[in-house]
C-alpha cells in the first residue's frame, strides 16, 4: 500500500543528506517518530546530527520556514532550544526528490525529574525565556488554536472511521457534543495568544545537570502561554501538582509574569488534546508506522476506554482538578 514515505528508502535518505554537503558515516538510525521520519547519524568528522523528513502535504513551506525562523530567533536571544542547521546560503529547509527535510544538531539528555525542585525551577525559567521572545511578534503561517472548531473537525474524522461500532459512535458523539458545548463557552483573550511550542511535554525537554533544552517545535502554533505548561506536570495528585507548579512559576517569573489568569484553560486544553489525538491516529492509519506503533486503535476496547476517558474529562471541565 502506498503511503507518504513509501519511497523514502535508506539510499534516498543518504543521498538527501549528502546533497547539502554533509557526509554520513554508516546508515542513519531511525528514531521513534511517526508524523515525520526522523533519523540520527554521525558525519565523517564525528558530528552527531538529526535529520527530519517532513510529512508531505501536512505543512506549507512557509509554515515550516516560520518554525525554523522562530527557533533561530529564540536561540539567538539565548533561549536554550535546538535550532535547525543552515547552509552557506542560510537555508534551513531543503528538498530532495519529493521530500522536504532539515537537519538539527543532535541534543542528548534526559527529561526533568519532577521531584527535584531545582529542575522544576530551571524548567520554568526556560519557558519564561521562550515566551518572553515569543510574545514579541506573531506567527503568520502557523496554525492558531481554536478550541470548538478544531474539536468539531476531529469528531467528524473519528466518526467517519471504520473503528467504532454504532453504539460507540452514539456514545462518542454524545460526550464530545457536551465537551464541545463547554469549549464553545470558553473565552480566550486574543491578547493572551502568543507563539508557543505547542507540544511541550516531558519528552520534548532534554537536559543534563539541570540545564534543559526544548526540542521538536513541529507543532508550534499561536495559543495561550499556558499551552506550554499544562502538559509538563501530571494532575493525578492535585497537592503535588500545586507544589510542582509553584517551583515552575518561580523560575518562569525570573523573566516574565506567569499567566495565572489562564489556569482556567487547562481542562479545556486537556479535552482538546484528547479528542484531537485520537483523530490524528485515525487520519494516519494508512501509514504503516502507525498500525505498528498503535495496534490497539483497531480494537473496540480502545474506543470504549477512550469514551470513558472523555466522560471523565467532561467532569473535570465542570470541576477542574487544579481547584481541588
Report the CATH number at residue 95.
3.30.200.70
Say which of 116, 150, 199, 219 is annotated catalytic. 199
Closest CA to 61 of 7, 141, 144: 141
Q: Which of 57-61, 200-204, 316-320 has the lowest mean pLDDT?
A: 316-320
Number of structural domains the chain divides into? 2
In which residue are the cell numbers 470541576 written?
319
Q: What is the pLDDT, as a whole number, of residue 131?
A: 98
Confidence class for position 324, pLDDT limits 50, 70, 90 = low
What the block records as the C-alpha cell of 223 is 495559543
Instruction: Tell me the pLDDT tens digit for each residue of 60-83.
Output: 999 999 999 999 999 999 999 999
Same domain, 61 and 186: no
Q: For the residues of 179-208, what is the DSSP string, one character each?
A: HHHHHHT----GGGEEEE-S---GGGEEEE
Is the separation of the CB atoms in 310 and 275 below 8 Å? yes
Same domain, 214 and 86: no
Is the separation of the CB atoms in 259 and 253 below 8 Å? no
* DSSP-assigned letter for residue 77: T
Q: Write down how long the chain is.
A: 324
Same domain, 22 and 133: no
For residue 37, give its domain range. 10-105
CA-CA distance, 99 to 180, in Å (whole number)?
Answer: 37
Q: What is the pLDDT, as a whole number, of residue 208?
A: 83
Average pLDDT, stretch 138-155? 95
Catalytic residue at 216?
yes
**pTM of structure:** 0.94
Is pLDDT of 1 > 60?
A: no
Is pLDDT of 163 > 60?
A: yes
Same domain, 55 and 165: no
Average pLDDT, stretch 45-73? 97
Could you tell me if residue 1 is inside a domain? Answer: no
Same domain, 285 and 167: yes
Could you tell me if residue 110 is inside a domain? Answer: no
What the block records as the C-alpha cell of 96 is 530532495
Could you tell me if residue 5 is inside a domain? Answer: no
Same domain, 89 and 220: no
Could you tell me if residue 166 is inside a domain? Answer: yes
Of 43, 73, 105, which closes a domain?
A: 105
Is pLDDT of 153 > 90?
A: yes
Q: What is the pLDDT, as a whole number, of residue 266?
A: 94
Q: What is the pLDDT, as a whole number, of residue 48?
A: 96
Could you tell me if residue 4 is inside a domain? Answer: no
Average pLDDT, stretch 180-198? 92
Confidence class for position 188, pLDDT limits 50, 70, 90 = confident
* Half-sphere exposure at residue 245, Cβ-oriented, CA atoms within 13 angstroms: 21
Of 72, 105, 138, which closes a domain?
A: 105
Confidence class for position 94, pLDDT limits 50, 70, 90 = very high
- Give strand pairing partners of 40: 29, 50
Maximum Cα interatomic distance, the chain, rounded to a whole number of Å: 59
Q: Which residue has the higher pLDDT, 53 or 33?
A: 53
Phi, psi of 54 (to 5 degrees): -75, 145
Same domain, 71 and 204: no
Average pLDDT, stretch 267-275? 96
The b-or-e profile of 6-19 (16+ CB within 10 A means b, else e) is eebeeebbbebbee
Same domain, 193 and 306: yes
Q: What is the pLDDT, as a whole number, of residue 50?
A: 97
Residue 307 sits in a domain whose CATH number is 1.10.510.10
Q: What is the pLDDT, as a whole number, of residue 191?
A: 86
Same domain, 137 and 21: no
Average pLDDT, stretch 301-318? 96
For the chain, percent of residues with pLDDT exceeding 90: 85
Q: What is the pLDDT, as a whole number, of residue 241?
A: 87
CA-CA distance, 136 to 256, in Å (whole number)?
Answer: 13
Could you tell me if residue 57 is inside a domain? Answer: yes
Same domain, 143 and 238: yes
Query: What is the rounded average pLDDT for all residues in the chain?
Result: 94
Same domain, 72 and 221: no
Q: Which residue has the higher pLDDT, 59 or 189?
A: 59
Of 83, 105, 127, which closes a domain?
A: 105
Could you tell me if residue 3 is inside a domain? Answer: no
Average pLDDT, stretch 302-307? 97
Average pLDDT, stretch 159-179? 97
Instruction: Tell me the pLDDT tens digit for each residue of 200-248.
Output: 999 999 988 778 999 999 999 999 999 999 999 887 777 888 899 999 9
Is the separation of the CB atoms in 221 and 261 below 8 Å? no
Same domain, 54 and 162: no
Say which of 216, 218, 228, 287 is annotated catalytic. 216
Could you tell me if residue 170 is inside a domain? Answer: yes
Amino acid at each position: 500500500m502506498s503511503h507518504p514515505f513509501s519511497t523514502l528508502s535508506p539510499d534516498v535518505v543518504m543521498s538527501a543528506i549528502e546533497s547539502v554537503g554533509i557526509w554520513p558515516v554508516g546508515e542513519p538510525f531511525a528514531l521513534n517518530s511517526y508524523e515525520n521520519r526522523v533519523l540520527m547519524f554521525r558525519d565523517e568528522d564525528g558530528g552527531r546530527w538529526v535529520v527530519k523528513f517532513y510529512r508531505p502535504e501536512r505543512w506549507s513551506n512557509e509554515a515550516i520556514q516560520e518554525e525554523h525562523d522562530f527557533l533561530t530567533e529564540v536561540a539567538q536571544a539565548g533561549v536554550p532550544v535546538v535550532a535547525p542547521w543552515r547552509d552557506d546560503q542560510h537555508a534551513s529547509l531543503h528538498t530532495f526528490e519529493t521530500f522536504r527535510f532539515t537537519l538539527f544538531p543532535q541534543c542528548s539528555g534526559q527529561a526533568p525529574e519532577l521531584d527535584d525542585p531545582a529542575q522544576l525551577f530551571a524548567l520554568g525559567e526556560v519557558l519564561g525565556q521562550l515566551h518572553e521572545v515569543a510574545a514579541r511578534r506573531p506567527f503568520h503561517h502557523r496554525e492558531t488554536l481554536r478550541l470548538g472548531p478544531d474539536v468539531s473537525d476531529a469528531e467528524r474524522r473519528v466518526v467517519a472511521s471504520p473503528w467504532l461500532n454504532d453504539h460507540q459512535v452514539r456514545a462518542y458523539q454524545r460526550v464530545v457534543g457536551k465537551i464541545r458545548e463547554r469549549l464553545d463557552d470558553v473565552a480566550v483573550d486574543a491578547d493572551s495568544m502568543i507563539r508557543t511550542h505547542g507540544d511541550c511535554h516531558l519528552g520534548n525537554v532534554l537536559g543534563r545537570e539541570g540545564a534543559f533544552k526544548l526540542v521538536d517545535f513541529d507543532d508550534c502554533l499561536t495559543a495561550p502561554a499556558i499551552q506550554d505548561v499544562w502538559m509538563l506536570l501530571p494532575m493525578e495528585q492535585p497537592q503535588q501538582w500545586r507544589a510542582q507548579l509553584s517551583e515552575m512559576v518561580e523560575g518562569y517569573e525570573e523573566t516574565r509574569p506567569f499567566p495565572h489568569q489562564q489556569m482556567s484553560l487547562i481542562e479545556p486544553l486537556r479535552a482538546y488534546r484528547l479528542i484531537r489525538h485520537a483523530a490524528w491516529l485515525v487520519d494516519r492509519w494508512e501509514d504503516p508506522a502507525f498500525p505498528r506503533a498503535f495496534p490497539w486503535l483497531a480494537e473496540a476496547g480502545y474506543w470504549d476506554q477512550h469514551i470513558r476517558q472523555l466522560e471523565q474529562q467532561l467532569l473535570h471541565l465542570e470541576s477542574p482538578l487544579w481547584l481541588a
